[in-house]
Amino acid sequence: MTQNLTPDPSSTLPPRVSPEDLRGKSNRLISHVALEGTAVFETRLEDLRQYAVTPTERVFMRNSYALPPLTDLLDDTLGIVGLVEFPLMLEISSLGQGITLETVMQCAGNGRAFFRDAQAMDGSPWQRGGLANVQFSGVWLRDVLERDNIKPEARFLTARGHDGDGSINYEKSIPLEDALEHGFLARGMNGEALSRIHGGPLRFVMPGYFATVNVKWLSSLILSEFESENEAQQDRYRMPDGKACWRMPLKSVVWSPLEGETLSGDVLLEGAAWNDGSSSVQKVEISLDQGETWRETQLERFLERPAPDWPPLDASSEHFAWVRWSLALELDPGEHEVWSRATDASGNVQLLEGDERWNAEGYEWSGVDKLRFTVE
């Protein structure tokens, strides 16, 4: 069962969740805290659809551990170590914020509730709200880590956070070449300094990858020949074939109407689509006859949406931000079921059945989105 987040500090919270975890968050978020024991909150679909850029207070949360103590975050140093010619110790406060990147963030478990036998799976029963479209401000990793400082045997970059369980800290590894191409060091979010609950003062952001890679409370970056042996890298966020949950597959959602909603008059179908940024979303289609026929929707192509007094959006945002779609229809009274599927410029098509990628952990749901509504 889920319950609404409450801002009341006197509410009963598990030991690894404090009222500080909830500071600045909307009371409309759906809580999975009771199941996870950490700060895990899902955004309501009706809140996602209201904004081109998801407000910070409504961005989902998924913490593996308790927030690190403030004393740990007073350390103003980011270490870049491992297979480098010269280790770097950078002042976090001196890193620039001149680049603003708009990107989708999505939990690897988003959509877990739609897999068959989902009730038997470990982890939160995420539906569609482990998702956000946000603007990060900071610097590209490639601008602080030069290639001539990297030893040739380096193949992976591991981001380590200040959070942990007392014996290990959270770590995630990704291919070094990907990190050098799109890795981002974020100090701001949605036009404000990056808050503590979203990983401030510094967060590693990898657009196009699942949010599990976006390591919060960043303390160090480690270059190595192999992936980290950390349990978050080796034992979690893996598919049955052993593949790490890195790149987000092509996906679309319907966010208007809502599941079970009753409408009057003409119907406006709306939603969003996204992928890992490697190929643009070319079209989104909807079906009202369970996939027998499909109708193409109108896409809202990327528009620059800089926050007030914040630097303009980097051009790469066009690849990583979500694409909103819509289609107005006249429908007969009665119950209807709508499906949505996305296609990208490389010809990839969203899975008709998400259970094709069934896995016991419920990761990477990317099936055609389906919901029912009624027209009066």
- Percent of the chain residues past pLDDT 90, beyond the cut: 84
Give the pLDDT confidence score for residue 7 in this predicted structure.
44
Rg (CA), the chain: 21
Give the domains, in start order, of the chain with CATH numbers: 70-107+128-234 (3.90.420.10), 251-375 (2.60.40.650)
pLDDT of residue 311: 67
Binned at pLDDT 50, 70 and 90, residue 39 comes out as confident
- Neighbouring C-beta atoms of residue 295, cutoff 10 Å: 11
Question: Using an 8 Å Cβ cutoff, are 137 and 311 in contact?
Answer: yes
pLDDT tens-digit profile of 260-299? 999 998 999 999 999 999 999 999 999 999 999 999 999 9
**Residue 326's pLDDT band (cuts 50, 70, 90):** very high
| Cα distance between residue 205 and residue 245, in whole Å | 15
Question: Residue 15 pLDDT > 90, yes or no?
Answer: no
Residue 23's pLDDT is what? 82
Where does residue 353 fall: left (phi above 0), alpha (psi -120 to 50 degrees), or beta otherwise? Answer: beta
**What are the phi and psi torsion angles at 82 (to 5°)?**
95, -130
Confidence of residue 182 (pLDDT cuts 50, 70, 90): very high
Q: How many residues does the chain have?
A: 376
pLDDT digits 0-9 by tens, 196-251: 999 999 999 999 999 999 999 999 999 999 999 999 999 999 999 999 999 999 99
Going by C-alpha positions, the residue among 363, 351, 290, 371 that lies closest to residue 110 is 363
CA atoms of 301 and 289, how far apart (whole Å): 27
The C-alpha atoms of residue 42 and residue 277 are separated, in whole angstroms, by: 24
Which residues make beta-bridge pairs with 102? 135
How far apart are alpha carbons 335 and 181 in whole angstroms? Answer: 47
Residue 362 has pLDDT above 90, yes or no: yes
Mean pLDDT of 102-113: 97
Q: Is the pLDDT of residue 37 over 90?
A: no
Contact 183, 103 (CB under 8 A): no
Q: What average pLDDT score do residues 91-98 get?
A: 94
Record the tokens describing residue 304, joined without a space: 């620059």
Structure tokens at 90: 């950078």
Residue 13 pLDDT exceeds 80 = no
